[in-house]
Amino acid sequence: MSRNYEISVREFLRLSREGGIDYADFIEHFTNVLRKINEKFGYLHTIHDINRDHLNEGLYGLPISVKDNICVAGMQSSAGSRILDGYVPFFDATSVKKVKVGGGKIIGKTNQDEFGFGTFSVNSGYEVPKNPLDPERTCGGSSGGAAGLAKAIRMPHIALAESTGGSISCPASFCGVIGLTPTYGLVSRYGLIDYANSLDKIGPIGDTVEDVALMLSIIAGHDQRDATSIARHNIDYTKHIKKNIKGMKIGVPKEYFKNIDPKVKKKVEGAIDKLEELGAKTKKISLPTTRFALSAYYIIATSEASTNLAKFSGLRYGAHEPLEGNFNEYFSHVRTKHLGEEAKRRIILGTFARMSGYRDAYYLKAMKVRTLIINDFKKAFKKVDVLAAPTMPILPPRFKEIERLKPLQHYQMDVLTVPPNLAGIPMISVPCGNSGQLPVGLHLMADHLQEGKIIEAASALESALVKGK
């Protein structure tokens, strides 16, 4: 008979160190629960049979899920796209390698929007993950499977995810879990199937702030195989858990509270009040270039995406068709057949923005706006330690509501997560209460490489809210 394994990551690690876990029994129970959850909610399209040998250090065999656009050796890695059906890499992404070396075990690949193109995980080439709190609603995107599983499993587990414009924060908010997006370059992108090279960031999603801090400590650090990797090593982010935040300066950007659901606004303002009660000092500030961020992001991101996706042509790997006609005709046929509608849309938008005659008017101008946005954040962080805002402007919508949205309305949902992603700063979404049964996320942001500050604030709020239950 299996014991009750509905325990925290912290408890799992403690019991493992003390010899209090029958690991073979734990893995058998975990796998059975995982398969049942997946049948109902569709979080993973690949489930890996886990070796039941117990690891005796580090993470002690802690189950880790991996977003489908992060390569795992010997496991199909398709980035949610049918054009990469059958692609099985022979190597691990650096982040995955670090997890394995650190004692974690990969349990499978989580469903996502195709190449990360989406806010609701409805653009998947495979199964659309369902919100564990209400299966008629979205998990958010594009790391929907990762966040949904982190909430639903109720057993020790951490998800490895990725964000380009908010793909960690958004699903974390919609599912009521913790999502940490690190500073751009802090975690190696080697082995990531890129959406937009200058924006992509690998980060963790977990049940507690301590869980994501632990995972960040493992995956962060310099990697010579990634030219954008920052030279930082061996940082223990868990030391920032449950720190006193008395005197911490928290900025509240007024632009982030416009046109958001009143229910979301109420919960976020309540969380900010709670931070004040814990000793933080809040201050209203302005980030004036915020209103240009969404336009700049979609020009930059789609431009980079159109270039990155050019290599998926049906020749070297993934889906292919009988070779007929000239190469251009063959490429067009394969891409038309195997790429989803949103992928095609973004390729077209990005190609247009980079065309001769339009590059100066769109792409270069968007890059200038990006610089202004970065400068806005830099000015703000001279006055405050952390910024606090809603993660998402709405509560998780029903799938039938999403079906009625036009593409531009989909893009507008990223209005609060895109600015910090453009700036490459660290951010964390932490649950700050429920409206009915639906969770609301508070977004905490800090200056580059100041992950410790957002972990401190998030941990303090988490502890206060747990005590207040």
Tens of pLDDT, residues 243-265: 899 999 999 999 999 999 999 99
Q: Phi/psi at 457 (nearest 5 deg)?
A: -65, -45
Instruction: Quickly state the pLDDT bin for 318 (edges 50, 70, 90).
Output: confident
State how far Cα 181 lies from the chain centre.
7
Q: Which residues pair with 105 in a beta bridge?
A: 63
Q: Phi/psi at 91 (nearest 5 deg)?
A: -135, 160
**Where is 221: in which H helix or E strand?**
none
Calpha distance 111→125 (Å, rounded): 9
Tens of pLDDT, residues 211-232: 999 999 999 999 999 999 998 8
DSSP-derived pairing of the beta strands 438-445 and 427-435: antiparallel
**What is the model's pLDDT at position 317?**
83
Location of structure tokens 């001279």: 382
Examine the pLDDT at 325 and tell me if it is beyond 90: no
Tens of pLDDT, residues 53-66: 878 889 999 999 99
Give the three-class secondary structure for 130.
strand
* DSSP letters spanning 48-63: PPPP-PPP-STTTT-E
424-453: average pLDDT: 98
Domain 9-287+376-467 CATH (choose: 3.30.420.40, 3.90.1300.10, 3.40.50.2000, 3.20.20.70): 3.90.1300.10
In Å, the largest CA–CA distance within the chain is 69
Q: Which residues contact 368 (CB under 8 A, 6 or more apart)?
A: none
From the list 77, 142, 173, 429, the catalytic residue is 142
**What is the model's pLDDT at position 348?**
94
Q: For residue 108, what are its two tokens?
A: 């499978």
**What is the model's pLDDT at position 360?**
85
Helix axes 9-17, 209-219, angle to 10 degrees: 60
Examine the pLDDT at 269 and tell me if it is beyond 80: yes
Q: For residue 433, what are its two tokens?
A: 């209460």
Domain boundaries of the chain, sorted by first residue: 9-287+376-467
Instruction: Quickly state the pLDDT bin for 171 (edges 50, 70, 90).
Output: very high
Calpha distance 214→210 (Å, rounded): 6
Q: How many CB atoms lie within 10 A of CB 225?
A: 11
Q: Is 167 a catalytic residue?
A: yes
Examine the pLDDT at 366 and tell me if it is beyond 50: yes
Q: Is 67 a catalytic residue?
A: yes
Percent pLDDT > 70 in the chain is 99
From the list 16, 65, 67, 151, the catalytic residue is 67
User: With the C-alpha atoms ordered 162, 168, 171, 175, is the resulting torsion angle positive or negative?
Assistant: positive
Q: Which residue has the higher pLDDT, 270 or 332?
A: 270
- Which residues of 286-408 form beta strands (DSSP E)? 386-390
Among 52, 48, 47, residue whose Cα is nearest residue 21: 52
Examine the pLDDT at 74 and tell me if it is beyond 70: yes
**What is the model's pLDDT at position 1?**
38
Location of structure tokens 């946005």: 373
Tens of pLDDT, residues 9-49: 999 999 999 999 999 999 999 999 999 999 999 999 999 98
The mean of the pLDDT values for the chain is 95
State how far Cα 126 lies from the chain centre.
18
Q: For residue 244, what are its two tokens?
A: 């006193």
Residues 116/305, Cβ–Cβ less than 8 Å: no
The helices-and-strands tally (H runs, E runs) of the chain is 15, 13
Calpha distance 297→292 (Å, rounded): 9
From the list 124, 167, 303, 306, the catalytic residue is 167
List, as own/partner pairs, every contact residues 83-88 make where C-beta atoms lie below 8 angstroms and the sequence separation is at least 24, other chains included. Answer: 83/125, 83/312, 83/314, 83/318, 83/319, 83/334, 83/335, 83/338, 83/339, 84/193, 84/312, 84/317, 84/318, 84/319, 85/318, 85/319, 85/338, 86/317, 86/318, 86/319, 87/317, 87/318
**What is the model's pLDDT at position 53?**
81
Instruction: Quickly state the pLDDT bin for 469 (edges 50, 70, 90).
Output: low
Lowest mean pLDDT among 6-10, 138-142, 231-235, 269-273: 231-235
**What is the model's pLDDT at position 466?**
81
Q: For residue 17, what are its two tokens?
A: 């160190």
The dihedral region occupied by 461, where left means phi > 0, alpha psi between -120 and 50, and beta the remainder, is alpha
- Strand ordering across the sheet containing 158-163: 44-47, 105-110, 63-67, 158-163, 201-206, 178-181, 427-435, 438-445, 386-390, 249-253, 281-285
Tens of pLDDT, residues 300-310: 999 999 999 99
- Which residues of 293-422 form beta strands (DSSP E)? 386-390
